[in-house]
Chain A
Amino acid sequence: ETGVTQTPRHLVMGMTNKKSLKCEQHLGHNAMYWYKQSAKKPLELMFVYNFKEQTENNSVPSRFSPECPNSSHLFLHLHTLQPEDSALYLCASSLYPPGQGDNEQFFGPGTRLTVL
């Protein structure tokens, strides 16, 4: 248990569906992240939020829409996804973002997404 929870743990959706992934951290952290991990590929950073403000968008397609209403919650809204978007989506948090302090990221267990 890392203090970062993600729901749902598994999600199957069609290409026309709209769904949302939720991440919550109980660590008092100020930075939150979405990563994507496809089969046999390195983790790819998608978005970074620092104090609720988006500070990094790693050229992610607009069918992925993040939302950070407060420092404890992070959402990833999904709309008209493609089968190649099937992957493990990981949320993480840290007290400070990378480059602003010697701190560690705590990862949630991930949401395994399958797009049919």
Chain B
Amino acid sequence: DAKTTQPNSMESNEEEPVHLPCNHSTISGTDYIHWYRQLPSQGPEYVIHGLTSNVNNRMASLAIAEDRKSSTLILHRATLRDAAVYYCIPDTSGTYKYIFGTGTRLKVLA
């Protein structure tokens, strides 16, 4: 199973961009990289996913390194509602499971 490394916590000021890094050096060539977040007292929610190219959606952007050993989730303008634990999860080819790590707890300061 691909292993991930994320900072335990990060802080950002409101209205500023946030770059959340993730290392997944053991990922295989066909595994998608998924990002989820978990707001307080809620189940996780999908944020974005990608394979090789950078991806954008209404919530965030995902920048994937050319060697695919790392990726960065970009929140373009952090709001207080973005305070959550962010999980980087490589898909695991041939299995049916996600492995959630400890994630990065993002604090957004007003």
Is the pair B96, A109 in contact by a Cβ cutoff of 8 Å? no
Interface size class of B (residues with CB under 8 A): 20 to 34
B17 within 8 A of A: no
Do A105 and B46 form a contact, CB below 8 Å, given A42-B103, A98-B91, A99-B91?
yes
Main secondary structure of the interface of B (DSSP, over half): loop
A residues neighboring B (CB under 8 Å): 2, 4, 31, 35, 42-45, 48, 50, 55-56, 58, 90, 92, 97-100, 102, 104-110
Count: A-B pairs, CB below 8 Å = 61
Residues in chain A near residue B96, CB distance under 8 A: 31, 48, 50, 55-56, 97-100
Q: Please, how many angstroms separate the alpha-carbon atoms of A106 and B43 in the complex?
A: 9
Shortest distance between the CB of B102 and any CB in chain A (Å):
5
